Structure 1
């Protein structure tokens, strides 16, 4: 669970990111989950987007993807979603959430 300070740090970092995960008409598929899982393993912080003119609710999509990948939903704005997952045990974090640097 992220603190409000950690969320703030991640939100500011997420402003600069381009969405690399796209949820379209097909919705959440095994491939979508796998893509997000791999991206989180490599980057820790990933921005996604639910395309307009789809029947998918952005908040529901965010919570389903987060649950499937073990990630936290940092922020949902419009159709954009920001996900964070800390590195696996034994890996050093790429993102410093201490707020000291």
Structure 2
């Protein structure tokens, strides 16, 4: 799942920008870990049977998952189904509702 397709949590909160910065930094760590394995394909790196071959990438993704969950104020232990269910229940901001239904 890609976190940046979903609505960000309320960045007007005092720690909002800090949480966003943490997510962006951990996202970069995932990209950096991938770059360390440029001789491998994305399919190889993300094959669950190969987790032991790419511990840095697995660790970077766990950190990113935790940062995203923290930004959204949940602790779902990286359970992708529960994360998707939660993200799909978030209300759309007014500017996005207008794009979906321009003629209410």
TM-score exceeds 0.5: no
Say which one has the larger Rg.
2
TM-score with structure 1 setting the length: 0.27
Instruction: Give 1 or 2: higher helix fraction.
Output: 2
As a proportion of its length, which structure holds more strand?
1
